[in-house]
Structure 1
Amino acid sequence: MKLTALLVCVFGVTTGEFVVAGILPAVAGDLGVSIPAAGLLVTAYALGMIVGGPLLTAITAGRPRKPLVLGLLAVAVTGNLLSTVAPGYGVLFVARIVTALVTSTFFANAIVIATASAPPEKKASTVAKLALGMNLAMILGAPLGTWIGDVFGWRTTFAAITACCTVGLILVARFIPNDQPGVCTRALAEFAVFRNRELLLAIAITAVANIGALMVFTYLAPLLTGPASFTAGAIAPMLLVYGVGATLGNLVGGRLADRALLPSQLGALAVLVLLLVALRLSSATILIGVLVFALGAVAFSVIPGMQTRVLTTAAAAPTLAIAVNASAYQVAAAFAGWLGGRVIAGPGLPTIYVVAAGTTVLGALLTGLALRTTRERAAPEHDTSVR
């Protein structure tokens, strides 16, 4: 039940992050703002995670994890409730930031709690099970939240997320045991780990390689209802298609990363570039549906490898490294929301696919650099063994 309690929380919090993509037009119309302005709500959430993750992880170092997680979840409930009743764009903007401030620290502590009692050979699979909450948010949470928003209004979507996070909080209070000796660490003492250049490069890859896919996901609703001529009612099913692809991609990507971490990541990013170009050139409805599925699969296939790379290069400070890597992912989301808005205001909505492909190429180049560095470091050891 411990893992289930945390999974419910991850599902609720992650749905609150992802669902904005599906209700973006409704929020913009109801609050009287433009689509790019509504897209900044994604940027606001990302910026909150960027700042809140490392800062809160450092401030709360050494605190008992159970009461800490309960406090973080209480803030998330409050932020989503404020989003539900927000009278205008400004209040909604602030509510998104408040909710986001605690998200990275919650995820980092949830991973530590989930893996604390797991044997070494099952820690990775335990993390994968916890990550299922994020996948379910993509498959069920975002489409269901979009459907609720279409039928009952976008405020009801945030009300449902508030209820889910509240249930998660209750489950954590009931089923998460108190800290055992040795669980808590001092994050301030862990900052020395960032002297590791390989860790810094791994975090940089997370920040750059995800921009393209996140840009398309942020503006997926207007991309489908605009250039692709889908109806508003098709957005929720298409988000479901994307989510199913993301779940399968996450599972397959994890297995590929176990076999060849950086090569598989580099190959996936190359395929992602081709998919983005294909989406720009496609007009057939069925083909676009297939490409959206593939986009979700390939975009999420790189996530397990990125997370594993950070964990293996920062074994001495996993909690802080996870929090910072989560912030790096949100750097990508923040920049994606901002850059997508500028593209819409400039060259136009369809150009998002081209710009997204370009940023993905940059991520692939960084991955190639990491692969080269890893092989060069291993080469002298190989030569010594031969001699």
Structure 2
Amino acid sequence: MKAPHSCVVVGAGLTGATAASVLARQGFHVRVHEQADVVGGHVRTEWIRGIPYEPHGAHIFHTFDSEIWQFVNEFTDFVPYRHRVTTRLRSHQLSWPLQRSELPQLEEWPEVERELSSLPPEPDTTNFETYCRSLMGDTLYGLCVRNYTLKQWGRAPDELSASVAVNRVELRDDGYRSLFRDPYQGWPERGYADLVEALIEPAEIHLGKPVTCADLTELTRPGEPVVITSALDDFFSGELGPLEWRGVRLESQFMPDVSLFQSSMVMNEPDLAVPWTRTIETKWALEKLHTTPGTVVMREYPGASAKHYPVPDSAGTNRALQASYEAKLAAYPRNPLVAAGRLATYSYINMDQAVRQGLAAARRVIEAH
């Protein structure tokens, strides 16, 4: 009998689990190696007394792609959820993205109104700061964006690429207060861990040990394909130098006597006097729990050593280093290596894109065999 094709997947987050699932369903023997002691990566959901929380921050599944939506719904049940974010500004709570109709309540409204009347026809894409100032004016930018960005990224806003702002910073005048406009939106009724565990179930899973390029000689046969979803500077043990990452630390507080703590799942805190960037209350995603006593509130603090966000500097230094690591990956002689997912591609992507990259990685492996 002919031996089945085999493949190794490095990382058991959403992208790795997607690739592993597709490959296993195509008859591959898939071995997944995950450095953590649980699967799920940064999308994993945990529960306290039946109340969900996300140790790595808020994750909302939204997509324009019907194929991706159908795919994830094969593995878990999603409930409708339209994500709303609020920005706290002194005594005001403003919708995010900002809505013009809410701005007259601000003490600075006369200045804001004057600046909004003289904006350029298109935003200036020189860097993050020029983009935002030309989108909403100096006053709104200073009130709602500049200090939040300093906290979130630990860099001056003019050192960040405008790509950070495009599709993430808006000024709306249409009254639509949900963050996303995608036709398919929801939250898994049993949490994202349920989705990832269902995806990865057919694979052979090894937990608790990181895998680097040096380990492939022991873990793989020559010519065996490997899907890499870990950061390439980690995978190559920093041979070309470290990529710059921005991490966050979350502190969770269970409130047994509170049904809902805040007015939306996410509350941004642009005030530099507040040390956390935002508070997150995942319970908002499951309407059936809204009246149940007990909630979990997480405060997200910036600057941890974890690799949550790639840093798209305006000079392009990090992107150039990532390209060098990708060239090294492509030149590896012993095994075909495929990079996929947020960490491996050094990109700030949405969850549907993470799934799409997992599907594409699996397809590359299948087509090569």
- Asked if TM exceeds 0.5, the reply is no
Question: When the two structures are superposed, what TM-score results if normalisation uses the length of structure 1?
Answer: 0.23
TM-score where L is the length of structure 2: 0.24
Q: Of Structure 1 and Structure 2, which has the larger fraction of its residues in helix?
A: 1
Structure number, greater radius of gyration: 2
Higher strand share: 2
